[in-house]
């Protein structure tokens, strides 16, 4: 399938999406949109698998590419050689920028010495400073995700944080957690399937306060689906 244009609730600042590894995400989060789509069309998700044809795809020039938007490339269930093959392919396109989003930020460490810092951005999801294991299932606790990004940032790589779906949080603790990750940008959005998921969501004033404080230290991008909570 090669490169695809972002659609739906994807990041509009991305040029392309590229999915060389596909399959069931290790985390199993309650709110996962991929799982919802698969269930909607009665498609059984396979375990993570490498798509060899994708490794021959021309990734172009001067593109900002979100890699593996449909699964977590650094999930505990993804073989090391899959990750290595994907990263090796990206290194062949020297004037592109690549975004990797993962909740397993600690699993990135063994690969950093293979990569050129200026062309990679690493993002993690931090829905809240609170840990909601009944919702985020097998995901590492928020602190571990942020601490992993802190290490990555210390190695010269740009980091980002996505607060989506935003869930009930404690503002001081949330700010400290995000500062730990040292993001150049924070993306914030709400649950797009809220009528079914019934997640614990913060009131408008807390979101306003959080955004106001974040804008003092980084760039904040407000996703369209956040409007529901800001009305």
For 69-79, write each residue's pLDDT tens digit: 999 999 999 99
Eight-state DSSP code of residue 191: -
How many alpha carbons lie under 13 Å from residue 110 in its C-beta half-sphere? Answer: 8
C-alpha–C-alpha distance, residues 21 and 70, integer Å: 9
Cβ atoms < 10 Å from Cβ of 163 = 25
Enumerate the β-bridge partners of residue 119: none
Residues belonging to the chain: 231
C-alpha–C-alpha distance, residues 114 and 91, integer Å: 9
Mention every residue, 6+ apart, whose C-beta is less than 8 A from residue 40.
Answer: none
Low-confidence ranges of the chain (pLDDT < 50): 41
- Distances, alpha carbon 74 to alpha carbons 32, 68, 71, in Å: 17, 10, 9
C-alpha–C-alpha distance, residues 120 and 74, integer Å: 15
Cα 13 from chain centre: 14
Q: Please tell me whether residue 122 adopts helix, strand or coil conformation.
A: strand
Cα 209 from chain centre: 23
pLDDT value of residue 42: 58
Architecture of domain 16-230: Alpha-Beta Horseshoe (3.80)
For 180-197, write each residue's pLDDT tens digit: 999 999 999 999 999 999
Domains in the chain: boundaries: 16-230
Contact indicator for 142, 32 with CB cutoff of 8 Å? no
Contact indicator for 176, 214 with CB cutoff of 8 Å? no
Mention every residue, 6+ apart, whose C-beta is less than 8 A from residue 189.
Answer: 9, 162, 163, 164, 165, 166, 222, 223, 224, 225, 226
pLDDT value of residue 36: 66
- φ/ψ of residue 18, rounded to 5: -135, 125
C-alpha–C-alpha distance, residues 126 and 160, integer Å: 10
């Amino acid at each position: 399938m090669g490169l695809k244009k972002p659609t739906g609730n994807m990041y509009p600042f991305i040029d392309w999406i590229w999915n060389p590894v596909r399959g069931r995400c290790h985390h199993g989060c309650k709110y996962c949109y991929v799982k919802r789509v698969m269930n909607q069309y009665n498609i059984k998700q396979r375990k993570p698998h490498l798509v060899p044809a994708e490794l021959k795809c021309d990734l172009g020039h001067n593109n900002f590419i979100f890699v593996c938007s449909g699964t977590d490339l650094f999930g505990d269930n993804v073989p090391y050689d899959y990750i290595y093959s994907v990263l090796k392919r990206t290194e062949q396109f020297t004037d592109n920028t690549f975004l990797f989003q993962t909740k397993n930020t600690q699993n990135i460490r063994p690969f950093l010495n293979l990569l050129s810092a200026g062309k990679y951005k690493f993002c993690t999801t931090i829905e809240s400073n609170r840990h909601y294991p009944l919702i985020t299932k097998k995901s590492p606790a928020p602190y571990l995700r942020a601490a992993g990004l802190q290490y990555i940032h210390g190695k010269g790589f740009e980091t980002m944080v996505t607060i989506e779906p935003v869930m009930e949080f404690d503002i001081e603790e949330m700010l400290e957690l995000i500062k730990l990750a040292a993001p150049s940008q924070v993306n914030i959005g709400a649950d797009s399937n809220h009528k079914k998921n019934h997640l614990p969501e913060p009131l408008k004033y807390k979101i306003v306060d959080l955004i106001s404080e974040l804008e003092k230290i980084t760039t904040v991008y407000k996703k369209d689906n956040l409007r529901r909570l800001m009305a």
